[in-house]
Amino acid sequence: MSQLLKIHQGDSTTLTETVEGLTSLEGYTAKLYIAEVDTLDGDIDGLVITYQIVNESSKLYPVGSHEFETKIFDDLDHVHTPSSGGFVVEQAIENDPS
């Protein structure tokens, strides 16, 4: 499923996705790949995967448009790409107001 995700530099956010087409994610690992920017591990609960982007990481994300995809895989080489698309990092006026 193609999506467009946006974040401001220095922001934190939680991304979630629900996987369709499988009955269980037991034994699977989940990753979010943001091309040339970051790779995040996902937390799996049932068929829902949660990815956390923290502000210390996003401060370092380069402003601009990037591609992303999520991958779930297991030890038997079953690989699925539940979502992919654009990942836009927007310039923040202030990265850390504290």
Residue keyed to tokens 């990942």: 87
Residue 98 predicted with pLDDT over 80: no
Q: Which fold has domain 2-90?
A: Immunoglobulin-like (2.60.40)
Q: In 27-78, which ranges are continuous DSSP H helix?
A: 55-58
Q: Would you place residue 93 in the very low, low, confident or very high pLDDT band (cuts 50, 70, 90)?
A: confident
Q: Would you place residue 96 in the very low, low, confident or very high pLDDT band (cuts 50, 70, 90)?
A: low
Tokens read off for 84 = 């992919």
Q: Would you place residue 2 in the very low, low, confident or very high pLDDT band (cuts 50, 70, 90)?
A: confident
Residue 94 predicted with pLDDT over 80: no
The tens digit of pLDDT for each residue in 33-70 reads: 999 999 999 999 999 999 999 999 999 999 999 999 99
Using an 8 Å Cβ cutoff, are 88 and 6 in contact?
yes
Going from N- to C-terminal start, the domains of the chain cover: 2-90
Using an 8 Å Cβ cutoff, are 57 and 36 in contact?
no
